A = this chain, B = another copy of it.
Amino acid sequence: MRQRSLFGVLSADRLDGILRQVDEVEYAAGVSIYTTGERRSTVFTLRSGYVKLLRFLPDGQQRIVRLVKPSCTFGLEALVGDTYGHAAVVLERAVVCMIPTTAIDGLRRTTPALHDQLMRRWQIALEEADVWLTELSTGKAPQRFARLLRRLVDANGVAPLFSRENLGAMLAMTPEHASRVVTDFRRNGAISDVTAGRCRCNLAQLSRLAAGGD
């Protein structure tokens, strides 16, 4: 277990002190890690799987605000406030590191390099939020879906294909419409090989669709 990313800047003995306070936990899909407004002083990093960050509208509707990918940090709010701004729910079996804020607070006063790391994390989260807004909330449904897939494909050209309900909450559409878009993509060869929540992506086709080509 290496906290290479966030604590990589620390000296060996300090690192050791930190790691003794960090827990690594595995969650099944659907489990809620924390909820909006909850008071707990823990920051998280994702090792594997996917986690969605949700936000609720007054009318009870929910919208997925961000998708946490492995090696990313979430729940940073715990460092400055005492409640979380989202609900964090596991989308795909996930291994998560739980870092009590007390472990960070002491060090960050004495270690400028850790400060830098934290700000960088914060910046990444903000950047992701902006991308989410521009790419996944702008344009027609097939465009948005194509852009989502392009952000999710791995080096093998494979991407996770989330439930229609989750796709809907990410892309601002109904699950029904998400379903239609998925079958359209299958028909025109943009995706294929749909098994166990994964699909193979036709990158050329996706680029066309992401740019607005019908």
| A interface residues with partner B (beta carbon < 8 Å) | 55-59, 61, 63, 65-66, 76-77, 79-81, 85-86, 108-109, 112, 115-116, 118-120, 122-123, 125-127, 129-130, 132-135, 137-139, 172, 210-212
* Top 4 closest pairs, chain A to chain B, by CB: A129-B129, A137-B137, A122-B122, A109-B112
Contact call A133/B129, Cβ cutoff below 8 A: yes
Residues of B within 8 A of A212 (CB): 59
**Shortest Cβ gap from A136 to chain B (Å):** 9
> A63-B134, A133-B132 are known contacts. Are A122 and B126 too (CB-CB below 8 A)?
yes
Q: Indicate how many identical chains form the complex.
A: 2
Contact call B138/A85, Cβ cutoff below 8 A: no
Residues of B within 8 A of A115 (CB): 108-109, 115
The CA-CA distance from A118 to B135 in the complex, in Å, is 28
From the candidates B58, B61, B86, B123, name the one contacting A122 in the complex (CB within 8 A).
B123
Residues of B within 8 A of A81 (CB): 123
